[in-house]
Amino acid sequence: MNFDRKMKLASMALLFLLTLPVPALVQAATYGHTGKASQVGRTIRITALDIRFDKIRLHVRAGETIRFIVTNKGQLTHEFIIGDAREQAEHEQEMQKKAGMDMPDEPNGITLKPGQTKTLIWTFGLEGDVEFACHVPGHYSAGMVGKIFVGANTK
């Protein structure tokens, strides 16, 4: 193979690499990403109380898109944050630093004042254990957390 041909092949290979989709770094979490309303397969209603959620165990499938409708029926502000153990630990630390200031809503979490109802659409990622939790200081350690078991996608 002559040099020119090698160069041509190399540049073609490079062009091919450039056409590959770049993974979305912001939403690369294995526990999922924001879902689209058009892909919602199921709605799960969750009530936040002082100081717990009315559900503590949920079962979903890998890749399933769920519409969570969360209502705060407590007297206190509560959060509903979806994440793996690491994400929850990070959010817990952040909330301790902010000494209980309300966090703005994020792709994987919402803050609810007493009486508020909000919706969060989430597409689950890989099989594994995910949690939903509230990190208003003291709430997570008081048990305001539930497990989401993400099972195999059998569809």
Site residues (vs Cu ion, CB under 5 A): 78, 134, 136, 139, 144
**Sheet containing strand 109-112, strands side by side:** 57-61, 145-151, 128-133, 78-83, 109-112
CB closest to Cu ion, residue no: 134
Name the residue nearer to Cu ion (CB basis): 61 or 135: 135
- Closest distance of CB 149 from Cu ion, Å: 22
CB within 8 Å of 81: residues ≥ 6 apart = 87, 88, 91, 106, 108, 109, 110, 132, 133, 134, 135
Q: For residue 28, give the H/E element and its range.
A: none
- Closest distance of CB 144 from Cu ion, Å: 5
- Closest distance of CB 47 from Cu ion, Å: 12
Name the residue nearer to Cu ion (CB basis): 109 or 125: 109
Name the residue nearer to Cu ion (CB basis): 95 or 136: 136
Name the residue nearer to Cu ion (CB basis): 65 or 68: 68
Closest CA to 126 of 3, 8, 17, 33: 33
- In Å, how far from its chain's centre is CA 8? 44
- Closest distance of CB 70 from Cu ion, Å: 11
- Closest distance of CB 86 from Cu ion, Å: 20
134 neighbors 48 (Cβ within 8 angstroms): yes
Name the residue nearer to Cu ion (CB basis): 134 or 148: 134
